[in-house]
Chain A
């Protein structure tokens, strides 16, 4: 899961980013509304966490800009303004969820996973594909009912494949969802991660579609 985190506070921003990375997420932290606007328009994110009180451009303006530009990126507004009028204004501007500071990281994570899951069109919190199951609320993968250990990159790749199960994800699309914006990416590394995942969950579940990308499927074998 790749997250655009827009937070200008020099302490809170990195703290949230650290906490989210500890939950296997790729996080791009931007302290500026204008930069956030640009990144949301040009990069591919699973979800955005948006602070409203930004120094250069109001969070609601950034959000409106995305929505007017046709971006349907799920957005969770994270703000100190906890009045209900602020919440109404946030949702009217196009927010998908709202969390007030201070918050527990579990709460934020749960809400972000739910947003991503719903954006992928899954109603239920548990997504299954053959012997593999993904508990979206906790972010835990199970194989034949037993939890499996994954590295952060493996987790991101598998979560992206799982949310799009039975559909092909373009290779570039997958790369964008897995690596942080400033990561120095070796074009072969995705193949390496796919290889490791196949070893852990069984080669037949991840299908390579030549010239396009990958597909997670229960009926591939």
Chain B
């Protein structure tokens, strides 16, 4: 048989199997005890009768018929009870019980030590009409020879109370089984709950909502939590190393690429340098993104204002002014990612603007919608739709300009926000991006 795949299933199956074996065993054991108990009670009574019957046999083996005729001797037998006296002077009784064939060698039949009271030897037999009987018999020694005495009642006398006890017994066992099942389920629920909690914590770590798994766990799970945290730390360190290496490689390449670009200025081969640069930028931006820390909380206003100042300074030569009207809010975005996202958004607008860029923001549900409006030529509607498709690079020319919106779109998506492009009043572009508001603010 295949083992169930879940711990829950395994434990439940084990518990059900144990119950199914244990309950019949208990049932049989209780039934046996009960039968012995009832039989013992019946035998006690039969033994009393046997004693009474024994009193009518005289020492010489003759039967005291007057005594026998007295009602109390025979009337003492209840419904269906039978008796037999097989004495040397004849056989008496309500039915002839096959006591003569009692097994030889039975110590109680032999002359052995006299007991104060002869309890009799139990036997089971069947009457001529097929009634199953249970009885006791004994043999007395008289001067004329052995006198055999026997009393019996129908087996039903024993079986009736047993049958009566069967239903309550089965009901009790069923209740016990039910209680065990409930206890098992509760135990499984309680016992497995730390596993579920741990799983939720691991999921939280994976989604970035938590930094590590709490190590305050039940004893059996604590080593697992510790190992998980070590794994998370190692993975984080490895990732940081890899990203750092990618960034260092890209940055290290930029200086020689800059030298080449200067050397090849005006040379058609300079196009290759531009391609190298575009590739470096693309992969550098990819190395930056990727892992999101959802616990991050960054104040939007100072970040936007600093970036507005930087973009304004960078585009000062072109006579473009950048103004921002941003409310005080905290967004759940890493500070460097927010700089990258907003910086590219504003820079892209300033690049294309004729004279002004306007940055505004408002809260929409759990998000801040940041809108950057420029008075440039805008983007044709067909390209606008394409621009927000995932995986589409907005600028295939590869001169580096226009990468901005791709980075904005990808970064926003990473944090659960999205970039939408629309036409501004007067023909420019409105680039709107939704940024998740930090739970802290």
Contact = CB atoms under 8 A, between A and B. Distances in A.
B310 A88 contact: yes
B286 interface: no
A15 B344 CA distance: 30
A101 B252 CA distance: 10
Contact of A88 (B258, B277, B306): B306
Given A12-B255, A102-B277, A111-B317, A84 B262 contact: no
Nearest to B276: A102
Contacts of A16: 262
B256 A85 contact: no
Contact of B336 (A85, A96, A104, A114): A85
Contact of B310 (A12, A15, A84, A110): A84
Contact of A84 (B273, B277, B344): B344
A105 B262 contact: yes
Interface in A156-206: none
Contact of A85 (B254, B284, B313, B340): B340
A92 B175 CA distance: 78
A15 B259 contact: yes
A78 to B, nearest CB: 8
Contacts of B265: 19, 104-105
Interface centre among B261, B263, B310 (most CB of A within 10 A): B310
Given A85-B335, A88-B306, A102 B317 contact: no
Contacts of A102: 254, 257-258, 260-262, 273, 277
A103 B306 contact: no
Interface in A22-45: none
B306 A92 contact: yes
Given A84-B307, A103-B261, A11 B256 contact: yes
A41 to B, nearest CB: 24
Interface string B267-294: 0000001000100010010001000000
Interface residues of B, number: 34
A85 B263 CA distance: 30
A83 interface: yes
A24 B307 CA distance: 34
A92 B310 CA distance: 9
Contacts of B342: 84
A53 B258 CA distance: 14
Contacts, number: 89
B314 interface: yes
A103 B259 CA distance: 9
Interface residues of A, number: 32
Contacts of B251: 53, 80-81
Interface string B286-322: 0010000000000000000011011001101100000
Interface in A63-106: 80-85, 87-88, 91-92, 96-98, 100-105
B339 interface: yes
B258 A12 contact: yes
A82 B281 contact: yes
Nearest to A19: B262
Contacts of A103: 258, 261
Interface centre among B260, B262, B265, B335 (most CB of A within 10 A): B262
B343 interface: yes
B317 A114 contact: yes
Contacts of B258: 12, 80, 101-103
Given A16-B262, A80-B254, A98 B317 contact: no
A92 B316 CA distance: 17
A64 to B, nearest CB: 16
Contacts of A137: 317
Contacts of B263: 15
9 contacts: A15-B259, A15-B263, A84-B307, A84-B339, A84-B343, A96-B313, A101-B258, A102-B262, A114-B316
Interface of B: 251-252, 254-263, 265, 273, 277, 281, 284, 288, 306-307, 309-310, 313-314, 316-317, 335-336, 339-340, 342-344, 347
Given A9-B256, A98-B314, 9 more contacts: A12-B255, A12-B258, A12-B262, A84-B340, A85-B335, A87-B343, A97-B316, A101-B254, A102-B262
Interface of A: 9, 11-12, 15-16, 19, 53, 80-85, 87-88, 91-92, 96-98, 100-105, 110-111, 114, 118, 125, 137
9 smallest beta-carbon distances between A and B, as pairs: A84-B343, A80-B254, A101-B258, A102-B258, A84-B339, A102-B261, A85-B339, A80-B251, A101-B254
